[in-house]
């Protein structure tokens, strides 16, 4: 093997990842609680540490999973804090330009610390364009800023259009720009602090409303207590972001115990919310046609309410009737379905014999096995199976080898549905 030094990769990305590794090592040194370390590394630095199933489920069921993904909200918090702290620089023109350079530099420095992850770069571009418009232009259009940020990223990598994070990020920001002011005007609150709470509710509602269909399409669940979860997480998230970045600076190591305590307490409260009755609707499956129809119905309905337009309200109703018709047809097919599904697993086997909403499952996996939870269970849920007769066959038995051979013969000789 000859080392040519030609394909050495992106030096900026390499530098960013090396820098992040140093910060992760500092977290590991000072944070004793493993779960707090995992949350801090994921939330602040975008380092995918080993989060426990309980913690991931708690954030997911409370609709606060976005807090664990370094994204636009995190960069927005940094910008908000910097903008407030540097307000005194708005007095003169040259100081305002200095403030612009300083904030952009700090935001992109944070992007470097997180390893230049796509979601952070996306947010940094959006914030940079926004600050530029705010500093040098009298008139700024938020929609143009959002579209230009998306255009810049798609020029660099057109395949980002299929990225789930890219889609959710821009749609949620669009929701904040368009819906939040309208929802906020629904109720007038005189009390200053109650008004802040209502403002947070409006933000949560607008972001959840525009992303709910995509979340159901990709993740097949809907958090019932998303308002409670997002209202609670707003203040801890702000403190975690500020302290999480501050403790990385020299001579501020003494703040690590406070930082760790806030994360541990936040996790405990979110787990409590997640354990409330009916905390989430899970196993909700919709296909591409259904999400398009639902999105059109929701879009027409929101626009009809905003403009008080009867035609769009009628269009929303017709579109929803079309969606309902497809759902009814799918349910009818599910009741009358008869099929066999073979699952191609590396070291295990599974076969499902389906009649209507019932299935007989032959497998050597247990219900707690990750292969069952990630490959078999979702496929059966998508087929609308309500009753599973679980027949577990242990490996290295005569019956196990007989069934496995029979499955292989059947698969080779019959036209049967295969799930890989």
- The per-residue pLDDT for 407 is 56
Which has more confidence, 298 or 46?
A: 298
- The pTM of the full predicted model, rounded to 2 decimals, is 0.71
pLDDT-derived band at 403, boundaries 50, 70, 90: low
Q: Is the pLDDT of residue 3 over 70?
A: no
At 71, give phi and psi (nearest 5°). Answer: -145, -155
Q: Is the pLDDT of residue 269 over 80?
A: yes
Q: How far from 103 is each of 241, 270, 300, CA to CA, in Å?
A: 16, 32, 39
Query: Nearest CA to 286 among 275, 294, 278, 298?
Result: 294
- The per-residue pLDDT for 7 is 58
The Cα 383–Cα 356 span in angstroms is 9
Which has more confidence, 397 or 71?
A: 71
Q: Is the pLDDT of residue 128 over 80?
A: yes
- The per-residue pLDDT for 318 is 92
The Cα 178–Cα 79 span in angstroms is 21
pLDDT-derived band at 49, boundaries 50, 70, 90: low
pLDDT in tens, 332-377: 888 888 888 877 777 777 888 888 888 888 887 777 777 777 778 8
**Alpha-carbon dihedral of residues 293, 296, 299, 300, nearest 10 degrees?**
-110
At 280, give phi and psi (nearest 5°). Answer: -155, 150
- Identify the bridge partners of residue 222 per DSSP, sorted by sequence position: 281
- The per-residue pLDDT for 254 is 85
Residues 34-51 as b or e (16 or more Cβ within 10 Å = b) = ebbbbbbbbbbbbbebeb
Q: What does the domain layout of the chain look like in residue ranges?
A: 37-280, 288-335, 338-419
- The per-residue pLDDT for 396 is 54
- The per-residue pLDDT for 418 is 45
The Cα 24–Cα 38 span in angstroms is 10
Average pLDDT over residues 17-30: 81
For 157-191, where are the alpha helices, taking DSSP H only?
164-184
């Amino acid at each position: 093997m000859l080392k040519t030094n030609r394909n050495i990769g992106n030096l900026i990305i390499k530098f960013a990842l090396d820098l992040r590794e140093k910060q992760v090592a500092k977290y590991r040194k000072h944070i004793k609680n493993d779960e707090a370390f995992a949350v801090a590394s994921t939330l602040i630095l975008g380092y995918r540490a080993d989060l426990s199933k309980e913690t991931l489920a708690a954030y997911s069921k409370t609709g606060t999973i976005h807090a664990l993904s370094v994204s636009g909200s995190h960069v927005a918090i940094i910008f908000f804090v910097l903008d407030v702290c540097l307000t005194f620089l708005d007095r003169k023109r040259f100081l305002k330009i200095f403030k612009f350079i300083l904030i952009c530099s700090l935001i992109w420095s944070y992007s470097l610390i997180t390893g230049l992850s796509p979601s952070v770069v996306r947010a940094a571009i959006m914030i940079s364009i926004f600050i530029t418009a705010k500093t040098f232009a009298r008139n700024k259009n938020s929609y143009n800023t959002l579209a230009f940020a998306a255009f810049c990223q798609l020029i660099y990598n057109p395949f980002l259009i299929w990225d789930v994070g890219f889609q959710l990020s821009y749609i949620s920001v669009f929701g904040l720009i368009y819906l939040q002011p309208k929802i906020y005007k629904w109720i007038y609150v005189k009390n200053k602090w109650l008004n802040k709470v209502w403002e947070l509710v409006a933000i949560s509602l607008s972001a959840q409303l525009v992303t709910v269909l995509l979340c159901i399409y990709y993740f097949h669940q809907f958090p019932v207590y998303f308002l409670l979860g997002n209202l609670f997480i707003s203040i801890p998230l702000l403190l975690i972001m500020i302290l999480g970045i501050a403790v990385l600076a020299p001579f501020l190591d003494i703040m690590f115990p406070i930082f760790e305590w806030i994360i541990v307490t936040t996790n405990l409260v979110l787990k409590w919310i997640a354990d409330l009755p009916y905390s989430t609707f899970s196993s909700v499956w919709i296909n591409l046609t259904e999400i398009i129809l639902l999105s059109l119905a929701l879009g027409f309905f929101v626009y009809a309410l905003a403009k008080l337009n009867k035609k769009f309200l009628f269009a929303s109703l017709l579109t929803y009737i079309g969606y309902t018709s497809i759902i009814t047809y799918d349910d009818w097919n599910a009741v009358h379905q008869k099929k066999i599904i073979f699952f191609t697993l590396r070291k295990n086997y599974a076969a499902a014999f389906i009649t209507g909403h019932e299935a007989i499952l032959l497998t050597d996996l247990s219900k707690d096995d990750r292969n069952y939870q990630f490959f078999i269970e979702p496929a059966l849920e998508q087929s609308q199976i309500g009753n599973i007769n679980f027949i577990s066959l242990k490996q290295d038995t005569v019956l196990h080898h007989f069934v496995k051979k029979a499955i292989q013969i059947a698969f080779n000789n019959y036209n049967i549905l295969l799930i890989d």
